[in-house]
Amino acid sequence: MRQNYTYRGVKGMRDVFPEEARRYQQLEQRARDLFSQYGCGEIRTPLVEHTVLFERGVGQGTDIVNKEMFYVPAKDEEAGPDALRRMVLRPEATASVARAYVEHEIDKTAGGVQRYYYMGPMFRYERPQKGRLRQFTQIGVELLGSPSPATDAEAIGMLFDYLQSLSLGTLTLMLNSVGCPECRPGYIQALQAFARLKHAGLCEDCRARLEKNTLRLFDCKKPECRAVMAQAPNIQSSLCAPCRTHQDQVLLYLTGIGITPKLEWRLMRGLDYYTRTVFEVVSENLGAQNAVAAGGRYDNLVSELEGPATPAVGWSMGMERILELMPAAAPVPMFDVFVVDPGPDTAGTFAHVTFLRRQGVRVGLEHEGRSVKALMKRADKVGARFTLFAGSGADTDRIELKNMASGEQVSLTWDEIAEHIRNF
């Protein structure tokens, strides 16, 4: 990479070239195929949202809102109150999906449980590091309209089916309950009382979290804070009877589909909208930042956004994290056929090549008048499955096609080439 090049990309944002882009496409296509089996349809929300959406939905005390948002300056002609003039690049998609659900009155126009999946870029202004980018790509699922613990298990089952199809190695499902508005306040009070006694042993960030977003004390990775929080009150002892019953039923449903989670009472979600079930999938191959996917139930988010009471559950994963874990795959050939036409006039060949492309054949053709030897090297470099020797033969009845793996060469008409390739 050029060290003194003036025009650089923004720190924490990457360029993705075709070979790597194909790996993203494989993940995306697998998601589309699997999620459609569960009745999920794709939803696409804007990259830019009003800041107030995340202040209200995600929470004022979260790092996302306080530290990590990419603000978009409003033009002077932007109308409306100040709250609607402040905009950001979306840091996550759950709040956006809930906003769309409310704005378009989906509860009235569609009815029933709504099943959505999404994929696309998110933005967080944080320190770039391995597995963490300022622009990153998420795949996620949101199921809106069902309070049933079976829906929690269905969402988790969908996630596990997807991850297991990617051969990612050993993965562990961590599960907990963060309670509900009835029982969680009592637990938070007990946790705050404990943390105030241990105030001196907490880092500066955790001292700030103590009052603003107490449950996030469990998120700190610093050894001294983790040692303190290992002695904290266990939320499982504070759950009300309905929350405990809900958790027991989620575990029962998961066991029924062959998934055994690890009940981890210190697992919390730092976003305000979570209720009851929270979960995280972790890998033993990612080091300290070992979370592959995370999610949970958020029964109050839609109503927080001034919509109808709508129970919901969902999850998301970072595609960059998944790609770190995926085994290296054989490169996908860029072309089925690479044309060896030394030119200088490729007009006749171009017409035939266009005919093949319209039949679904991926054809490489260069127009620069290179030698046969150079073109053969290029065909090998791009991994073409076949080479087609054109040039003066472009206007003849038959053309020579070479199988690059076997070396076999056959003489075919232009009309026969596409069918011949499809048979390999």
pLDDT beyond 60 at 287: no
Q: What is the pLDDT of residues 366-380, one digit of tens each?
A: 877 778 888 888 888
Q: What is the mean pLDDT of residues 170-189?
A: 91
* Residue-by-residue DSSP string for 291-329: EEEEEEE-TTHHHHTTS----EEEEEEEHHHHHHHSPPP
pLDDT beyond 90 at 199: no
Q: What is the pLDDT of residues 211-232, one digit of tens each?
A: 778 888 888 888 888 898 899 9
Round the average pLDDT of the chain to a whole number and report it: 85
Dihedral sign from CA coordinates of 40, 43, 49, 50: negative
> Quick one: pLDDT at residue 285?
66
The angle that helices 149-164 and 18-37 make with each other, rounded to 10 degrees, is 140
What radius of gyration do the chain's Cα atoms show?
27
Phi, psi (5° rounding) for residue 85?
Answer: -90, -20
Of these ranges, 138-147, 182-191, 193-202, 352-361, the one predicted with the greatest mean pLDDT is 138-147
pLDDT beyond 60 at 178: yes
Which of the residue ranges 62-76, 303-317, 341-355, 403-417 would you say has the lowest mean pLDDT? 62-76
Which of the residue ranges 280-284, 293-297, 397-401 would you say has the lowest mean pLDDT? 397-401
Question: Which residue has better confidence, 71 or 147?
Answer: 147
Q: Which of 251, 247, 276 shows the shortest CA–CA distance to 157?
A: 251
Say which residue the tokens 């309950």 belong to.
177
Which of the residue ranges 178-187, 200-209, 385-394, 410-419 would you say has the lowest mean pLDDT? 385-394
pLDDT beyond 70 at 83: no
Cis peptide before 342, with omega less than 30 degrees from 0? no
pLDDT beyond 90 at 255: yes
- What percent of the chain is modeled with pLDDT above 90? 39
> Quick one: pLDDT at residue 97?
96
Phi, psi (5° rounding) for residue 415?
Answer: -70, -20
> Quick one: pLDDT at residue 244?
96
pLDDT beyond 80 at 129: no
> Quick one: pLDDT at residue 393?
46
Rounded CA gap, 400 and 407, in Å? Answer: 12
- What percent of the chain is modeled with pLDDT above 70? 88
> Quick one: pLDDT at residue 214?
85
* Strand partners of residue 339: 388
pLDDT beyond 50 at 106: yes
Q: What is the mean pLDDT of residues 385-390?
A: 86
pLDDT beyond 70 at 288: no
Question: Which residue has better confidence, 423 or 295?
Answer: 295
CA dihedral 78, 82, 84, 85 (to 10 degrees): 40
Burial 219-239 (b: 16+ CB within 10 A, else e): bbeeeebeebbeebeebeebb
Q: What is the mean pLDDT of residues 202-215?
A: 83
Q: What is the pLDDT of residues 51-76, one digit of tens each?
A: 888 887 665 555 666 667 888 877 76
Q: What is the mean pLDDT of residues 6-35?
A: 89
Rounded CA gap, 247 and 420, in Å? Answer: 57
Q: Do the beta carbons of residue 177 and residue 247 sit within 8 Å?
A: yes
> Quick one: pLDDT at residue 389?
85
Of these ranges, 200-214, 221-235, 285-299, 389-403, the one predicted with the greatest mean pLDDT is 221-235
Residue 419 one-letter amino acid: E
* Residue-by-residue DSSP string for 98-120: HHHHHHTTHHHHT-S-EEEEEEE
Q: What is the mean pLDDT of residues 391-411?
A: 76
The SS3 of residue 284 is: coil
Q: What is the mean pLDDT of residues 274-294?
A: 82
Rounded CA gap, 106 and 99, in Å? Answer: 11
CA dihedral 90, 30, 114, 56 (to 10 degrees): -20
| SS (HEC) of 17-84 | CHHHHHHHHHHHHHHHHHHHHCCCEECCCCCEEEHHHHHHHCCCCCHHHHHCCEEECCCCCCCCCHHH
* Strand partners of residue 50: 87
Domains of the chain, start order: 18-183+239-325 (3.30.930.10), 337-422 (3.40.50.800)
